[in-house]
């Protein structure tokens, strides 16, 4: 029986406990026109998805939280019900598209069927159209969702479906979960025994875990109060930005840092400008970001991420100084094994009874946290152009959800020589997503001016 990992299940638990959240991720692919007929689009996508089990399965919970939820085949599965089509309202511009994306992403996916949707959006400028691919975060992380893009619109062969997961019913799920609970002590003993066979490796892992947990603990201190955290409403704002990947690489080479350092420094500059725009003081501890780090080893659709929790240097006025500080902080966190500790915690949770894990997540969802201010995720996308029914996809924008008093989120995606930013915010309290988007583009331009011309 294929069960959700504790991390996968956490996204469902958080959504259940936070009535303002809709924890689906998405990509918005902009394609050259004309848009295909709806039936043509549905048939093409359905054929490519036929071999991916998750797109035929729904979540089945276990009574009394005795075990994590399971993926089971949906006996009433109707692929056509997961596709929608809308015309972009006037004035048919980028702002209208962003408003429509925010509206569609604010609606929760229905739990009694597979957790995904596709929307065709017509009427973009220059005869273009868009594909909004929406999937619940419990089903996939950003990297897995990006891989789906290559299956749908690239040359990757469509997979052949071999896995079957019929719904076992509540009684079977309950018995299976009870058996798993009884096996936990034996499984844990076997894991410990296996580690003891390699004492040097075990000592290194214990040392790394201790360092990482210490780093995580220090990162959980509250930040200075800002309007960037607090209760969320139901409505969202969404904005986009786009820069040349070559410019980002030139900056990274000139300052001997990584591409991710440059992007995070640009986001830090964007938040500094946003705070100043709102009349706030960008203090050194104003903005701590949750930065997902992939620990993926396979190709399954699920969440395989850990995290880093750096403070963004919004107090520094100079873009280069911000870049250097971001690089230093990320290097320190990586050396401190912070991501390793996060991965260890999620891996350990998989070998514990599910009920206390679920209860802890639900309790945490109600705590007034003030240590994480934003989420900034960077996903490498396809380097070569993709095509939707013969139409070239010119840009792909990412969407990241927000929840738990985190009022802004920034997703970054590289595709075909560009890096795009998708910025999500709470419409009631942080409506200035366009301020943040434009500031990020200016930050990249300012940093590019400090690098030699290519």
Determine the Cα–Cα distance for residues 377 and 289; give it in Å rounded to an integer: 9
Q: Is 124 left (phi over 0), alpha (psi -120 to 50) or beta?
A: beta
Which of these is catalytic: 137, 198, 277, 327?
137
Alpha carbon separation from 365 to 11, 57, 406 (Å, rounded): 11, 27, 12
CB-based contact 262:330 (threshold 8 Å): no
Report, in angstroms and rounded to the nearest whole number, the Rg of the chain calculated over CA atoms.
Answer: 22
φ, ψ at 301 (rounded to 5°)? -80, 110
CB-based contact 96:239 (threshold 8 Å): no
Q: At what angle do helices 199-219 and 169-196 cross, to 10 degrees?
A: 120
Determine the Cα–Cα distance for residues 448 and 440; give it in Å rounded to an integer: 12
Place of tokens 């780090």: 293
The angle formed by the CA atoms of residues 33, 37 and 42, to the nearest 5 degrees, is: 110
Cβ-count burial of 335 within 10 angstroms (0-12 exposed, 13-18 middle, 19+ buried)? exposed
82 catalytic? Reply is: no
Sheet with 387-388, edge to edge strand ranges = 83-87, 116-122, 129-136, 24-31, 391-399, 387-388
Determine the Cα–Cα distance for residues 111 and 12; give it in Å rounded to an integer: 9
With CA atoms as reference, report the closest residue to 133 among 189, 72, 83. Answer: 83
Determine the Cα–Cα distance for residues 107 and 89; give it in Å rounded to an integer: 19
- What's the token pair of residue 392? 């070239």
Determine the Cα–Cα distance for residues 237 and 227; give it in Å rounded to an integer: 16
Local structure of 385: helix, strand or coil: coil
Local structure of 92: helix, strand or coil: coil
Q: Is 392 left (phi over 0), alpha (psi -120 to 50) or beta?
A: beta
CB-based contact 411:420 (threshold 8 Å): no
CA 112 to chain centre: 23
- What's the token pair of residue 365? 């969802």
**Which residues are designated catalytic?**
137
């Amino acid at each position: 029986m294929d069960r959700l990992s504790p991390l996968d299940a956490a996204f469902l638990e958080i959504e259940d406990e936070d009535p303002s959240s809709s924890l689906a991720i998405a990509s918005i692919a902009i394609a050259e026109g004309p848009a295909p007929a709806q039936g043509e689009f549905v048939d093409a996508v359905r054929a490519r998805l036929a071999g991916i089990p998750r797109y035929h399965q729904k979540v089945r919970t276990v009574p009394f939280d005795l075990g994590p939820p399971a993926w089971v085949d949906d006996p009433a599965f109707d692929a056509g019900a997961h596709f929608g089509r809308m015309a972009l309202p006037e004035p048919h511009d980028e702002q209208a598209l962003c408003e429509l994306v925010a509206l569609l992403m604010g609606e929760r996916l229905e739990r009694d069927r597979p957790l995904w949707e596709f929307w065709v959006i017509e009427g973009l400028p220059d005869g273009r159209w868009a594909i909004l691919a929406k999937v619940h975060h419990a089903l996939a992380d950003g990297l897995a969702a990006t891989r789906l893009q290559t299956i749908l619109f690239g040359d990757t062969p469509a997979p052949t479906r071999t896995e079957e997961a019929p719904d076992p019913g509540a009684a079977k799920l309950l018995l299976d979960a009870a058996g798993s609970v009884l096996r936990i002590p034996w499984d844990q003993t076997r894991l410990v025994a296996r580690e003891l066979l390699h004492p040097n490796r075990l000592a290194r892992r214990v040392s790394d875990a201790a360092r990482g947990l210490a780093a995580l603990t220090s990162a959980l201190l509250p930040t200075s109060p800002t309007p960037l955290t607090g209760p969320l409403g139901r409505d969202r704002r969404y904005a986009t930005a786009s820069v040349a990947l070559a410019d980002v690489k030139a900056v990274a080479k000139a300052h001997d840092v990584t591409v991710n350092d440059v992007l995070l420094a640009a986001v830090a500059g964007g938040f500094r400008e946003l705070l100043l725009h709102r009349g706030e003081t960008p203090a050194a501890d104003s903005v701590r970001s949750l930065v997902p780090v992939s620990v993926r080893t396979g190709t399954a659709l699920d969440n395989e991420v850990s995290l880093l929790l750096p403070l963004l240097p919004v107090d520094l006025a100079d873009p280069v100084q911000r870049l250097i500080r971001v690089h230093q902080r990320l290097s320190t966190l990586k050396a401190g094994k912070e991501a390793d500790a996060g991965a260890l915690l999620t891996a350990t949770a998989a070998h514990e009874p599910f009920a206390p894990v679920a209860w802890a997540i639900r309790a945490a969802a109600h705590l007034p946290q003030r240590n994480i201010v934003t989420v900034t995720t960077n996903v490498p996308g396809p380097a070569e152009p993709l095509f939707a029914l013969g139409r070239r996809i010119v840009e792909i924008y990412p969407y990241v959800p927000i929840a738990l008093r985190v009022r802004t989120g920034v997703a970054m995606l590289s595709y075909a020589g560009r890096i795009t930013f998708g910025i999500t915010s709470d419409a009631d309290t942080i409506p200035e997503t366009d301020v943040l988007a434009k500031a990020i583009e200016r930050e990249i331009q300012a940093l590019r001016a400090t690098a030699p011309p290519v």
